[in-house]
Each structure stands twice: as structure tokens, then as C-alpha cells.
Structure 1
Amino acid sequence: MYSFEYGTSNVYVQLGFADAEEIPLKAQIVRDITARIRAAGLTLSEAAAVLGTSQSDLVLALCGKFQSFRAGELRGWLDRLNFPLLLKYR
């Protein structure tokens, strides 16, 4: 017979990740960053220049490997992707 154990709704806490509380927040921010990059029609190179980061760091974050980034840093990227500011890059 099966036995079920209920825990928190955050699977990362159950798996023991050190930054478990921030992972869903970071994922949401990265999702918003991706949407803004696509909406602006930026290439990865252009987006990295706008964000003030390397293209390799941007690719890591967009691929979900954002554990080395702080949520505040990702929020800063999101703020830099305000559409009026992007016009100067096009």
C-alpha cells in the first residue's frame, strides 16, 4: 500500500536547496525578462548589452541556471528592460 506525506508547497524546500525560498521568485523574474526580450525583438547580444552583463551569464539565467544570481540582480535586469529605454538600442 502507498503512504503519502504532505510537506510544503515548495518542492525545492523538500529537496533541501539552500536558496529554496528564492528559486520560484527567480524563475518568475527570469520568465518576465525572457518575455520582455522577445517583445522588444532583441538578440541575446543586444539584450546582454542593455542589461550590462555578459551574453554567457544571460544565457545561463535564461536556461534556468540562475542559482548564482541574486534575486535583486535579476530584478535590476528586469528594470533595465523598460520599453522606453530600449528604443535607444534599436
Structure 2
Amino acid sequence: MFRFEYGKTNVYAQLGFANAEEIPLKAEIVKDITVCIKAAGITLSDAAAMLGTLQSDLALVLCGKFQDIRADELRSWLARLTSRLW
């Protein structure tokens, strides 16, 4: 049987990830981007065009592969989406 323990520390730091502090922040921003896209009912292609990026790059980010993108870039994506959609 497994036993889980919940801690208050960053699990990514415990596992030795580079930029561990930034991972939860970027995940939260990506979640907000996903919510915006779904709420607006736009396609991935339309969202990518609004963001000025490739649809394949946006798809990777939305699937959690955002290691190569800075949090500032993700924030700018979110700002562009919200300003154009609402």
C-alpha cells in the first residue's frame, strides 16, 4: 500500500528541476490561457494566430511542455488573449 505525504515545499525543487520556482507559476498561467480559449469558444488555430505563434507550439504548451518558454512570454500570451477576447 502507498502512503502519500503532503508538504509545503516545492516538489520540483526537491526533484532537482532547474527553475523549479517557475514551474508552478507557468502551469497556472497555462491553465488561465486554456480557460480563456475554452470560454471564448475559439479554435486552437485562431488562438495561435491571436498570439502570433504556431498552432503546434501552442498545442505543446497547453499539453504541459512549456519548459522552453519563459513565464514572461506566457504572461504576454495571456494578456494578448484577454485583451482581444474581452
Q: Give the TM-score category using the shorter length.
A: 0.7 to 0.9
After the TM superposition, which segments of 4 or more aligned residues of structure 1 sit over 4 Å from their partners?
Answer: none
Hey, what does 2:18 align to over in structure 1? Answer: 18
TM-score (norm 2): 0.87
Hey, what does 1:39 align to over in structure 2? Answer: 39
Sequence identity (%): 70
How far off its partner does 1:19 sit? 1.2
Is the counterpart of residue 68 in structure 1 residue 65 in structure 2? no
How far off its partner does 1:8 sit? 5.8
How far off its partner does 1:71 sit? 0.1
Cα deviation per residue 1:51-84 (whole Å; 9 max; x = unaligned)?
110011101100001000000000000001115x
How far off its partner does 1:14 sit? 0.5
RMSD across aligned C-alpha pairs, in angstroms? 1.8
Structure 2: gaps (5+ residues): 1-6
Q: Is the 8 A contact 1:8 1:14 kept in 2?
A: no
Letter matched to residue 22 of structure 1: E
Question: Paired residues, what number?
Answer: 81
- Separation in 2 of the partners of 1:32 and 1:8? 23
Letter matched to residue 52 of structure 2: G
TM-score (norm 1): 0.83
- Separation in 2 of the partners of 1:19 and 1:43? 31
